[in-house]
Amino acid sequence: MSSAPRTATERTKLPYCHESFHNLQELRHSASLANKVFIQRDYTDGTVCKFQTKFPSELDSRIERTLFEDTVKTLNNYYAEAEKIGGQSYLEGCLACLTVYLIFLCIETRYEKVLKKISRYIQEQNEKVYAPRGLLITDPIERGMRVIEISVYEDRGSSGSSSGSSTTSSSGR
Amino acid sequence: MLDGRRAPRRMKNREYQQIDPQALATPPPRPPPEHMPKRARRKWEVFPGKNRFCCDGRIIVARQSGVLPLTLALIVLTSGLFFIFDCPFLVEHLTGCIPAIGGVLFVFVIISLLQTSFTDPGILPRATPEEAADIEKQIDNPTGLSSSYRPPPRTKEVVINQQVVKLKYCFTCKIFRPPRTSHCSLCDNCVERFDHHCPWVGNCVGKRNYRFFYTFIVSLSFLTAFIFGCATTHLALRSQGGNGLVVALQASPASALELVVCFFSVWSIVGLSGFHTYLVAANLTTNEDIKGSWSGKSGNEDVGNPYSYNSIIKNCCSVLCGPMPPSLIDRRGFVPSDDSVQTRPVEIELPAAKNDINMEKDCLDFALSCAG
């Protein structure tokens, strides 16, 4: 078995990269989970939702630093937009207060709308950027907005037959 | 003395009993795990905290509802007496606006009370096993003792707005608590922007339901003061016609009851509203105020609230009119199917334990028979 490609660019040149990992479903079925990397929250600006942009060392060989930082910065911007205190949020708040907050049962708040945008963005990033590199981002809302969980997958080998065991250290080394 | 003739027969019976699986009283463990994956469970059914859920996870309450029924009963009873006994008299002698104002205040009070009680206060879900392991790796444990010994409290320092804030590690939830988050021991959850656990409301007051709680106490202060004023006016008007106060009380004893209830509650509720108005204006929580986190009680003169915008209006707006954050615990979502598989190994161990108990019992019988 040939050794695994070390850089992300080498990986994209391989034929199996586009065939096996292009589809997110195939990523889950044909690859086994090797590791999970957690991006923690950045509290330097208070309690607003913001994630650290520090590049984790475990992803060094898997993805370019700029792509990763772009993803995290875009997510941070989305959360800042959701939590922004300005004219629209005041209007929403005052209207809600007048209706004894019953309006929250009827309409979708701005925060919920932005959360939907975020999950669409993460889905798109997974399909275009992360799945071809054998990575998968979990939406932070599923982890209580505490962490961005990035699952690192190792392919089980170019033969395509699954071995049944979940150990990954022997594959592709 | 050993009875050679009886012992072998007993041994044979005992051996037969030991290996016969039908001697086991418990049903075979295999069918339940096979049935479990077929029924998908919602996340509220496996929620680890002490909360209770109604309406298939739509409504969340603390485990002990506290005195919420008493609170509701007091409010409904006093308001009911007001509408039945005071309003007709006052509408006739004063104005028809009185029941309208009373009605609006009553609706505000009841709805905001129910929202405070039944809304998720901002519960943080517990860490997944992988997350907890990742945090453990990052923390230094130089003593390297086993998990049965609790290591010294873990803290992480972060600088917020030129202020050093210590984040504590929660051993129950296995996370580093975000700033302003506290663990409620009654509900067994970490709650964001934890204010306090209110027994009158039967729930924690936190980030998501603080505005409901504030609306509740402010509107209740107005309602209590309004009913107190109306009952006093009613009795005053009745006793004005030369009849005296005693006759007035006899004619409308309900007003007397309302007066008593409102008199004792108006001080505490108005006081509480005033206190929370101060907290809102300063962007503080009850928890922080009591502990004196930012008032310099610990001796450090440099402290100030790092979360305050230093403007009363902006603080009020951000606390009461800010965006409504979503619930993080996803009560009505479905549990992923991986969880149902984990219970299988536990159930298989039971027959082995039962086997041991039978064997022990049989050995004891044998020993007794030998002795006898």
Report pLDDT digits (tens) over B112-129: 999 999 999 999 999 888
Q: Are A23 and B155 in contact (CB under 8 A)?
A: no
Q: Check: CB of residue B172 under 8 Å from CB of residue B186.
A: no
Position A173 pLDDT exceeds 70: no
Q: State yes or no: pLDDT of B291 exceeds 90.
A: no
pLDDT band per the 50, 70, 90 thresholds, residue A115: very high
Choose between B355 and A114: higher pLDDT: A114
% of chain B with per-residue pLDDT over 70: 74
| Residue B298 in tokens | 């610990």
pLDDT (tens digit per residue) in B52-88: 777 777 777 777 777 899 999 999 999 999 999 889 8
Whether residue B178 and residue A104 make contact (CB cut-off 8 A), yes or no, is: no
List chain B residues with CB under 8 Å of A143: 125, 128, 131
Q: Could you tell me the pLDDT band of residue A7, with boundaries at 50, 70 and 90?
A: low
Query: Which of A27-41, A115-129, B171-185 is least confident?
Result: A27-41
pLDDT band at A94; cut points 50, 70, 90: confident
- pLDDT over 50 at B342, yes or no: no
CA distance to partner chain B, nearest, from residue A82 (Å) = 8
pLDDT of residue A114: 92
Q: Per mean pLDDT, which range of B5-19, B187-201, B272-286 is the poorest?
A: B5-19
Pairwise CA distance, residues B97 & B313, whole Å: 32
* Mean pLDDT computed over B140-150: 53
Q: What residues contact B121, with CB distance under 8 A and at least 6 apart?
A: B191, B192, B194, B203, B204, B205, B206, B207, B208, B209
Whether residue A107 lies within 8 A of chain B, CB to CB, comes out as: no
Which of A7-16, A24-33, A157-166 shows the lowest per-residue confidence on average (mean pLDDT)? A157-166
Q: What distance in Å separates the CA atoms of residue B316 and residue B243, rounded to the nearest whole number?
A: 50
Higher pLDDT among residues B344 and A121, named by residue: A121
| Pick from B124, B117, B253, B285: nearest CA to B198 | B117
Chain B residues with CB-CB distance to A89 below 8 A: 321-323
CA distance B193 to B206: 5
Check: complex ipTM more than 0.90 = no
Scanning every residue of chain A, which has its alpha carbon at the shortest distance from the alpha carbon of B335? A142
pLDDT band, residue B152 (cuts 50/70/90): low
Q: Which residues of A touch B107 (CB under 8 A)?
A: 100
CA distance B29 to B348: 6
Residue of B181, B231, B284 whose CA lies nearest to A145:
B181
B213, B254 contact by CB (below 8 A) = no
Q: Which of B108, B158, B178 sits opposite A44 (nearest CB)?
A: B158
Check if the beta carbon of residue B87 is closer than 8 Å to that of residue B98.
yes
Residues of B recognised as catalytic: 198
pLDDT (average), residues B228-237: 90
Which amino acid would we find at residue B364? Answer: L
3-state secondary structure of B44: helix
Query: Encoding tokens for residue B249?
Result: 């009380």
Using the beta-carbon criterion (under 8 Å), do A89 and B321 form an inter-chain contact?
yes
The residue ranges of every structural domain in chain B are: 43-123+192-320
Q: In Å, how far is A108's CA from the nearest CA of chain B? A: 10
Q: How far is CA B248 from CA A55, B86, B92, B226, B233, in A?
A: 78, 12, 16, 20, 11
When mean pLDDT is compared across B98-107, B155-164, B291-300, the lowest value belongs to B291-300
Q: Which two tokens stand for residue B212?
A: 């409901």
Given a contact cutoff of 8 angstroms between Cβ atoms, the answer to whether A59 and A69 are in contact is no
Minimal CA separation from B166 to chain A, in Å: 11
Which SS3 state, helix, strand or coil, does residue B113 take?
helix
* Cα B318 to Cα B309: distance, rounded to the nearest angstrom: 9
For the segment B15-41, what is each residue's pLDDT rounded down to a tens digit? 444 555 554 555 444 444 444 455 777
Q: Within an 8 Å CB–CB cutoff, is residue A116 touching chain B?
A: no
The answer to whether residue A46 neighbours chain B at the CB level (below 8 Å) is: yes
The half-sphere exposure of A112 on its side-chain side, counting CA atoms within 13 A, is: 9
Position B210 scores a pLDDT of 95
- Considering only residues A30 and B10, tell me which one the structure prediction assigns the higher pLDDT: A30
Q: Across the interface, which of B108, B125, B321 has its CB nearest the CB of A94?
A: B321
Q: Sign of torsion, CA A103 A107 A110 A112?
A: positive
- Shortest alpha-carbon distance between residue B288 and chain A (Å): 15
> Minimal CA–CA distance to A16: which of A28, A27, A25, A32?
A27
Beta-sheet strands, E only, within chain B: 52-54, 59-61, 123-124, 155-160, 163-170, 175-176, 182-184, 189-191, 196-198, 203-205
- Give B211's contacts in chain A (Cβ within 8 Å): 93, 97, 101
Please state, in angstroms and rounded to a whole number, the distance separating the CA atoms of residues B72 and B239.
32
Task: Give me the pLDDT at residue B115, please.
Answer: 93
Rg (C-alpha) for chain B, rounded Å, is: 32
Torsion sign across C-alpha atoms B94, B96, B97, B100: positive
Q: How confident is the model at residue B353 (pLDDT cuts 50, 70, 90)?
A: very low
**Tokens linked to A71:** 């993803």
Contact B125 A83 (CB under 8 A): no
